[in-house]
Amino acid sequence: KRFQSQGTGGAIVNIGSISAVVGLPEQAVYCASKGAVFQLSRQIAIDYASENIRCNTIGPGSVDGDFLRVYVESQENPEEAEKNILAAHPIGRLADPKEIAEGIMFLISDRASFITGANLQADGGYSAI
């Protein structure tokens, strides 16, 4: 509504997850919810393109931070869980939160003025496997 009232368009970036495009064991509801975020972004992109409002999603892989640490520590074998998470990313490491922020900054910038309805996978190659 704010973009509409200003009449100048704008850019929306929703936060998705690798889980929007890759299934994870025993995570059906989470994966479905993240897939829904991507589809919502696509629908917003279509519905508001004529008003110069763009909408995209960023799909992070595993990001170094508290959320991941809590998950790893909750596993039966935290060391094995961490090893498996790293192995799922061909780049061989976790994302720094700043790297995800850079992707978001790009998507809201004028450099991305022709990008709408897209999902930018910032996942260290996870979805390429």
The 10s digit of each residue's pLDDT in 45-60 is: 999 999 999 999 999 9
CATH code: domain 9-123 is 3.40.50.720
Is residue 30 among the annotated active site residues? yes
Cβ neighbors of 66 (< 8 A, separation 6 or more) are none
- The residue from 30, 48, 71, 126 that is catalytic is 30
23 — pLDDT class (breaks 50, 70, 90) = confident
Tell me how far apart the alpha carbons of residues 82 and 58 are, in angstroms, rounded to a whole number.
23
In tens, the pLDDT along 117-128 reads 999 999 999 999
Residue 103 has pLDDT above 70, yes or no: yes
Contact 7, 53 (CB under 8 A): no
Residue 99 has pLDDT above 70, yes or no: yes
118 CB-contact burial (10 Å; exposed 0-12 / middle 13-18 / buried 19+): middle
2 — pLDDT class (breaks 50, 70, 90) = low
pLDDT, position 26 = 84
